[in-house]
Amino acid sequence: MAIESQHMNQNLPPQLIMNRYFMKTNEGMYKDNLMDSCVPLQQASFAKLFDPILASNSIDDMGMRRGPKDSFINNAFGSSMDHIQLHQLDGFIAQHAEKVRFEVEEQRENQWRTLITLIQERVLKQLKAKDEEIQRMGKINWVLQQRVKCLCVESQRWRDLARTNEAAANSLRTDLERVLAHAGEELRRGMSAAADDGGESSCCGSSDEGWREVVVPPSGAAVMRKCKKCGEGEASVVLLPCRHLCVCRICGTAMVGTCPVCHFITNASVHVNLS
């Protein structure tokens, strides 16, 4: 029983144990007061205590003589002790409930703190990934802008080159038309001169010895259209930049250093179809 009592005292809170000791102390003081208030027993009373029959009769007489005052004191003391124990039990329950509530709140705060930390880490990771993607797209955009600029510059250069070539083609067309007109005029002059020479030499005397063989000279156009370099092919290539139609296709294909007409340094040639 002593071991069980000590074990129960270990499980109880210190406040209840102190209150229990306080209750035992009060109970002892109450018993001492009762003993002090008793009157000395007579010798006959001691004899009754050692005699079982007399003792039992005396106990019955004492129970019959016990008044309502003792019962009231016992009931009041028991009710006060019950009230104190209930009050202490309520305090212990309230203290335990407060402790449990505090632990639950602390655990809930820790859970919320952990959840917020996880959410922040995930959001920061997503923001970092978005920033890296934005930087990568910015680099790609910069490369594309540089490519567009290069294409614009190249397009402008090709446009300028096309305009230059178009102007050169127009100028060559004008020069070619002028050369062709001049060649036609020279052809007409040559034909008229050949006709005049043929009429004058048609008859020189009456005898056979006076006759001379009339040779029709070549046309002026054919003479003018001979290659000025080789003298065999037909002139069909215009030399640049002097724009003289004076060499054949074979001589024009090879790099011509100077024009055979004006001896100007050439840098390009254009083939003309005169058929």
Percent of the chain with pLDDT over 70: 57
Residue 132 lies in a domain: no
Is 231 contained in some domain?
yes
pLDDT top residue among 228 and 211? 228
pTM of the predicted protein model: 0.32
Residue 128 lies in a domain: no
Please state the domain count of the chain.
2
Q: Confidence band (pLDDT; 50, 70, 90) for 265?
A: confident
- In degrees to the nearest 10, what's the CA dihedral of 80, 86, 87, 89? 150
pLDDT at residue 150, rounded to an integer:
94
Which of 119, 149, 177 corresponds to the end of one domain? 119
Report yes or no on 35 lying in a domain. yes
Instruction: Answer with the residue of higher pLDDT: 93 or 275.
Output: 93
Q: Identify the residue with better confidence: 48 or 135.
A: 135
171 falls within a domain? no
Q: What is the pLDDT of residue 178?
A: 85
Final residue of a domain: which of 93, 119, 145?
A: 119
The answer to whether residue 257 sits within a structural domain is: yes
Percent of the chain residues past pLDDT 90, beyond the cut:
26
**Greater confidence, 186 or 236?**
236
pLDDT of residue 260: 85
Mean pLDDT across the chain, nearest whole number? Answer: 71
- Tell me if 200 is assigned to some domain: no
- Asked if residue 241 has a cis previous peptide bond (ω within 30° of 0), the answer is yes
Task: Give the pLDDT confidence of 35-83 residue by residue, as tens digits.
Answer: 444 444 444 444 444 454 544 454 445 444 445 555 555 666 566 777 7
Domain boundaries, position 249 = 222-275
pLDDT at 137: 95
Helix 52-65 crosses helix 43-50 at what angle (to 10 degrees)? 110
Domain endpoint, select from 119, 143, 158: 119
* Burial category of 146 from C-beta neighbours within 10 Å (exposed 0-12, middle 13-18, buried 19 and up): exposed
Q: Could you report the per-residue pLDDT of 144-192, keeping only the tens digit for each?
A: 999 999 999 999 999 999 999 998 888 888 888 888 888 777 777 766 6
Question: Is 146 inside a domain boundary?
Answer: no
Q: What CATH number is associated with residue 266? A: 3.30.40.10
Instruction: Estimate to the nearest angstrom the gap between the alpha carbon of 78 and the chain centroid.
Output: 80
User: Which pLDDT value is given to residue 133?
Assistant: 94
